[in-house]
Amino acid sequence: MKPSKSSRGRQSKPNNPQKSSNPQDRSGIRLNKYIANAGICSRREADVYIKAGNVTVNGKTVTEMGFKVQDNDIVRFDETTISPEEKRYILLNKPKNYISTVEDDRGRRTVMDLVKNAAKERIYPVGRLDRNTTGLLLFTNDGELAKKLTHPKHNVRKLYQVSLDKKVSINDLRNIASDNFKVEDRKVFVDAISYIEGQPKSEVGIEIHSGRNRIVRKIFESLGYKVVKLDRVIFAGLTKKNLPRGFSRPLTKQEINNLKML
C-alpha cells in the first residue's frame, strides 16, 4: 500500500516534533557561551565538554552544538549547577609570601585571601606569580580572556624588574637577548632586557612573554646570579600606578576594552 500524500513531503512537516525544538531556532544564549560566561572555560573548550556529554540542561544531556539556553533553564556542568555571571576584572599588586592558587592543602596564604571582598562572583588568578615574586596579578571570571592572556602566541607583554645579588655584565645581557639563549636545554626568547636607568647595574628590566614556570629566575640563575627581588611591573598594558602593594582595584572600562583588543 502506498502512503497517502498527507504523510509525505511538505504536508508532513507540521507534524514533525523536531522542528520547534531545533536548537538553532530557539532564542536565548548559546550553551558554549553560557558555560564560558560562568567562568568554567573558553567557548572552544566548552564545545569539547558538550560533545563529551559533560553538560545537562533541565536534567537531560545536551551534545548538540548551538543549543540555546533559556532564562529558566537549569544547566549543570559535571553535576554542578552553573549560571552566567557578570564579568569581573580585578588587578592586584601582589606582596611576597602569598601563593597564586585558589586554595592550598598546606594551609599557606593564597592570593585569594587578598581579593576575597573584591567581587561577589567567583574570580580566579590569570597565570601565576611564585610565592616570593611581587607585582601585578589579574583576576577574572572571564574564561576566554584568561586563556588569551596566558597563551604565548598572543605575545602578552610582561615586564619585570629584577634585583640581583651582583652586577650583571653587559656580555650576559647580550647573551640573554640573543636568539640562541637556552635554559634547561630549551630556547628562551626574551623580548627586551636592559639595565634600569639611574639604578645600580644589579637592577635589570626584562620583558618576556614565555609562560614557563619561574622562567625569569631560571634565566639569571643559569648564569650564576641570585635573584634577590622580582617584581612584575607591567602586565598586558596594565601598570601598578596608584596601586599600593597588597591592594587591588577593578579595571576601568577602557582597560577592559584594551585587554579584549589584544
Task: Enter the C-alpha cell of residue 133.
Answer: 615574586
Tell me whether residue 71 is one of the annotated catalytic residues. Answer: no
Of 209, 206, 187, 189, give the one whose Cα is nearest residue 262: 209
Identity at 226, one-letter amino acid code = K
Distances in Å between the alpha carbon of 56 and those of 28, 74, 143, 231? 16, 8, 20, 44
Reported as half-sphere exposure (CB side, CA atoms, 13 A), residue 162 has a value of 30
Out of 78, 104, 130, 165, the active site residue is 130
Catalytic site positions = 130
